[in-house]
Every structure is written in structure tokens, then in C-alpha cells.
């Protein structure tokens, strides 16, 4: 937080016309609370590679300016940029408390001054969903001992905002916070400004913010899938991409709606097949998988029945493998038996009179019943 760097700044005249100094109110209890809260930030290094190089470079660009080039003979800055007011947000005083905080942006950096003595600046930023809030800071001035931190309104501390650590590169400090959806505030002070009133309107700092979605979507909810279905439906994170797989084979993908509903087209799957369904958000975070087993709703084929005479005590034939075959005389059940893995069955019954009509059905393990086969008992 106390690292010095070279800030690529716009021309001094642009600052003079854009930055407000006269309305600063740098005294009072709130300033003291802000100073304590910001200085309380414990310096700890971020896990290596936590902030990817592309994001770090973008933050560096925002605090440094977009088109830096060398300036010969400058003792204050080694670089300047051709930046304009369109590329920065300039602080506007009074911004010394939460209610008067300036609004920061993820699109461009903020430039400010820390004067007079004891000045503190607040910049608010909205976090759109749970993820990582990154805050970068840099000063061009050796009289500014820049200290900054992200805080909650009124300095509330809880799990909504958790400091993860900081990383330095080329004079830029980047702090990372795990944050839940909400509004947060970047507080900025000059640590030595509490004792030494040596800042001028030419002494500038810059901050920038970025948001990284690192939170996996919740596991999708999946509705019943049967062996007649050609779509898998359910609910997932809004706008996430939902993928249905059979083992490692992808059967189909589709984007969830703004309300989170999804419908993924698939080929019909066999009963008993286990499908896995995941949701991937726009940042590439993938949910844990939901699983669903395809149930059977297609009734078995009508059984075939071998000839039965008035002396037979078994009914034989072929039906769906592992189905339960039932023989009836009218509404009266004469017997049931399970078909083999090859579909053959043998149902024990009492001998029936010549001319009796028997009905034979097959029911699978999902409870689907075939149409009935009928046969008349013949004389032995």
C-alpha cells in the first residue's frame, strides 16, 4: 500500500480545470475513523497468479493512462499520456464520506488529489454478483504515501467483503477482495498527510477497479427424463450454458434464459441411462453436475403366447426381458412370473377349461404395462 510509482498523467492544465479542491472538509471524527479503517489493512501477498496477467495489465493501463510516452527533462514524471477527460473520472469534492462518495467505474480509472491536510476520498463501486473485486492504486508524487482499501459502508466488517491480499508490479499495487453482490467503497488517504501538509494540486493519485467472476454457478435443477424424451429441461443460472452428457459424451448444450429455464435437445436415451448436467457461466466457471436417471415410459411390446390346452399348468412365451408377465382369466389373476434376460417366461396356472380366453400382459420395472395378448384354451 505504500509503494511509490510513476503515474502517466494528463496535462497539468486539464487537472486545474477538472479537479475541485476548495470544498474539501478534512477534519472531524469521520476522517479519523476512515483513516484507521484504511490503515488497518494488513499487507499480505496474493497467491501467485491469482490475478491473471491480462487483468493486471488492464488495471495498470487504467491507472497509468492509455498512450504513455517519454517526456525529456521532467523531474516529476518520466512519462505523460495524451489522455483526455474521457479516459479518466476526476474526483469531485466534497467526497470525504460514504454519502458523498464519487462513483467509480470498471471502464476507466479515477484521478484525485489528497489535500488539504487530513483529506480522505471515497469512491463507490457496485459489485454485480459474488466474485473478486480488484482495486489498483498508484501515485505520481513522492510526497504522497498512498494508502487505500475497499470497505463497506460505515466500516461494517463481515463475510460480504474479505481481503485476500495484494500484488505489486511496476509500481502499481493491486488489492483483491472476495465480495458478495453489493455496493462498496474505495477509501484513499495520504498516510503522511496527517502530519505533513506538503501536498499541492500537482500531486496526484489514481485508482482503478475490476471485477472477476470466480464463483461457480449453482448445480442445475433437472426435471424428469424418460426414454421417450428428446429434450432435457430444468433451471440453472440465468444465461449460463447448460450441457448434458452421457458419461464423457456430450449429448447437447443450450443457453439458459434470463429466468434460468433451459431446454437441451438430445437423442432419445435408453431407460436406466445416467445423464450428467452442468452449467457454465460467461466467465467460464462450471457448476458441479446434477445427475438424472432416464426412466422408462414406453410400454413393453405385447407378449407372444404359445398354445395352451385344457391340460396345461403353465403358460409360456416371449416378452420384454426382465418384465413381469401376468396371466388372467377375465379379471382373475391366475399367476405371474418374471421373464428371463432373453425374454422367455413360464407362468404357473391351474388347468383351464377348453374355450376359456386368457389374457397375458408384461409390465416393466418402471410400471409400464403392455397391451394384452389373448389366447383360447384348446382341448388336449
pLDDT band at 36 (very low <50, low <70, confident <90, very high): confident
Measured distance CA(204)–CA(172) in Å, rounded:
14
* Domain shared by 26 and 65, yes or no: yes
- What's the pTM value of the predicted model, to 2 decimals? 0.67
> Terminus-to-terminus CA distance in the chain, angstroms?
102
Over residues 224-233, the mean pLDDT reads: 95
Q: What is the pLDDT of residue 72?
A: 27
Q: Is residue 5 part of a domain?
A: no
* Domain shared by 204 and 75, yes or no: yes
- Residue bearing the bigger pLDDT, 376 or 140: 376
CATH number at residue 336: 2.60.40.10
Q: Is residue 31 part of a domain?
A: yes
Over residues 255-261, the mean pLDDT reads: 97
Q: What is the pLDDT of residue 212?
A: 92
pLDDT band at 30 (very low <50, low <70, confident <90, very high): low
> Which residues contact residue 104 at a Cβ distance below 8 angstroms, ignoring those fewer than 6 apart?
89, 110, 123, 124, 125, 186, 207, 209
Per-residue pLDDT tens over the stretch 94-135 = 899 999 999 999 998 999 999 888 889 999 999 999 999 999
Do 181 and 130 form a contact (C-beta atoms < 8 A)?
yes
- Whether residue 11 has pLDDT greater than 60: no
Q: Is residue 369 part of a domain?
A: yes
Q: Pick from 269, 293, 317: which residue ends a domain? A: 293
pLDDT band at 29 (very low <50, low <70, confident <90, very high): low
pLDDT band at 86 (very low <50, low <70, confident <90, very high): low
Per-residue pLDDT tens over the stretch 55-66 = 888 888 888 764
pLDDT band at 28 (very low <50, low <70, confident <90, very high): low
Q: Pick from 238, 265, 293: which residue ends a domain? A: 293
Measured distance CA(66)–CA(61) in Å, rounded:
6
Q: What average pLDDT does the structure give for the chain?
A: 85
Edge to edge, the sheet with strand 324-329 lists: 332-338, 324-329, 357-363, 373-376
- Whether residue 329 has pLDDT greater than 70: yes
* Domain shared by 34 and 164, yes or no: yes
Q: Is residue 288 part of a domain?
A: yes
* Domain shared by 249 and 308, yes or no: no
CATH number at residue 197: 2.60.120.380
Q: What is the pLDDT of residue 58?
A: 86
* Domain shared by 147 and 236, yes or no: no
Measured distance CA(260)–CA(265) in Å, rounded:
16
What's the 3-state SS for 319-356? CCCCCEEEEEECCEEEEEEECCCCCEEEEECCCCCCCC
* Domain shared by 346 and 276, yes or no: no
Q: What is the pLDDT of residue 37?
A: 75
* Domain shared by 60 and 78, yes or no: yes
Closest of 119, 167, 169 to residue 6, by C-alpha = 169
* Domain shared by 280 and 316, yes or no: no
Q: What whole-number percentage of the chain has pLDDT above 70?
A: 85
* Domain shared by 105 and 173, yes or no: yes
Over residues 143-159, the mean pLDDT reads: 92
Q: What is the pLDDT of residue 344?
A: 97
* Domain shared by 321 and 198, yes or no: no
Q: Pick from 150, 183, 212: which residue ends a domain? A: 212
Q: Is residue 2 part of a domain?
A: no
Over residues 336-351, the mean pLDDT reads: 97
- The least confident of 41-50, 156-165, 170-179, 314-323 is 41-50
Domain boundaries, position 348: 304-376
Q: Is residue 299 part of a domain?
A: no
Number of domains in the chain: 3
Q: Is residue 298 part of a domain?
A: no
- Whether residue 42 has pLDDT greater than 70: no
- Whether residue 174 has pLDDT greater than 80: yes
* Domain shared by 26 and 162, yes or no: yes
Provide, for the chain, the percentages of residues in helix, strand and coil under a 3-state DSSP scheme, each rounded to the nearest 5: 10, 40, 50
* Domain shared by 188 and 333, yes or no: no
Per-residue pLDDT tens over the stretch 239-253 = 999 999 999 999 999
Per-residue pLDDT tens over the stretch 181-220 = 999 999 999 988 667 778 888 889 999 999 999 999 999 9
Edge to edge, the sheet with strand 344-348 lists: 304-305, 314-318, 344-348
Measured distance CA(371)–CA(360) in Å, rounded:
9
Amino acid at each position: 500500500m505504500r509503494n511509490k510509482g510513476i503515474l502517466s498523467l494528463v496535462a497539468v492544465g486539464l487537472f486545474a480545470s477538472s479537479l475541485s479542491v476548495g470544498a474539501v472538509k478534512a477534519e472531524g471524527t469521520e476522517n479519523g475513523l476512515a483513516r484507521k479503517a484504511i490503515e488497518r489493512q494488513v499487507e499480505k501477498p496474493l497467491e501467485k497468479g491469482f490475478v491473471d496477467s491480462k487483468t493486471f495489465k488492464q488495471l495498470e493501463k487504467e491507472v497509468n493512462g492509455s498512450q504513455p510516452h517519454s517526456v525529456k527533462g521532467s523531474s516529476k514524471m518520466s512519462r505523460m499520456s495524451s489522455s483526455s477527460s474521457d479516459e479518466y473520472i476526476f474526483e469531485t469534492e466534497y467526497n470525504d464520506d460514504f454519502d458523498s462518495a464519487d462513483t467509480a467505474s470498471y471502464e476507466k480509472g479515477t484521478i484525485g488529489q489528497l489535500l488539504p491536510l487530513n483529506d480522505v476520498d471515497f469512491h463507490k463501486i457496485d459489485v454485480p454478483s459474488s466474485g473478486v473485486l480488484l482495486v489498483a492504486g498508484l501515485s505520481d508524487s513522492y510526497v504522497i504515501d498512498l494508502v487505500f482499501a475497499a470497505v463497506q459502508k460505515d466500516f461494517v466488517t463481515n463475510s460480504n467483503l474479505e481481503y485476500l491480499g495484494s500484488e505489486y508490479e511496476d509500481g502499481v499495487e493491486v488489492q483483491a477482495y472476495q465480495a458478495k453482490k453489493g455496493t462498496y467503497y474505495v477509501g484513499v488517504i495520504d498516510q503522511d498527510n496527517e502530519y505533513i501538509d506538503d501536498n499541492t494540486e500537482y500531486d496526484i493519485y489514481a485508482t482503478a477497479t475490476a471485477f472477476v467472476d470466480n464463483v461457480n454457478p449453482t448445480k442445475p435443477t433437472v426435471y424428469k427424463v424418460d426414454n421417450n424424451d428428446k429434450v432435457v429441461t430444468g433451471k440453472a443460472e440465468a444465461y449460463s450454458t447448460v450441457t448434458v452428457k452421457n458419461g464423457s459424451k456430450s449429448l447437447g448444450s443450450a443457453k439458459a434464459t434470463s429466468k434460468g429455464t433451459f431446454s437441451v435437445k438430445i437423442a432419445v436415451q435408453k431407460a436406466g441411462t445416467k445423464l450428467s448436467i452442468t452449467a457454465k457461466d460467461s466467465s467460464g466457471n462450471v457448476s458441479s453436475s446434477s445427475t438424472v436417471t432416464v426412466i422408462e415410459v414406453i410400454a413393453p411390446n405385447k407378449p407372444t403366447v404359445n398354445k395352451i390346452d385344457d391340460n396345461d399348468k403353465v403358460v409360456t412365451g416371449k416378452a420384454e426381458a426382465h418384465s413381469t408377465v401376468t396371466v388372467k382369466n377375465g379379471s382373475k389373476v391366475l399367476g405371474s412370473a418374471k421373464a428371463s434376460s432373453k425374454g422367455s417366461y413360464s407362468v404357473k396356472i391351474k388347468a383351464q377349461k377348453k374355450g376359456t380366453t386368457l389374457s397375458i400382459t408384461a409390465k416393466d420395472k418402471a410400471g409400464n404395462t403392455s397391451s394384452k395378448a389373448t389366447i383360447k384354451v384348446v382341448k388336449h
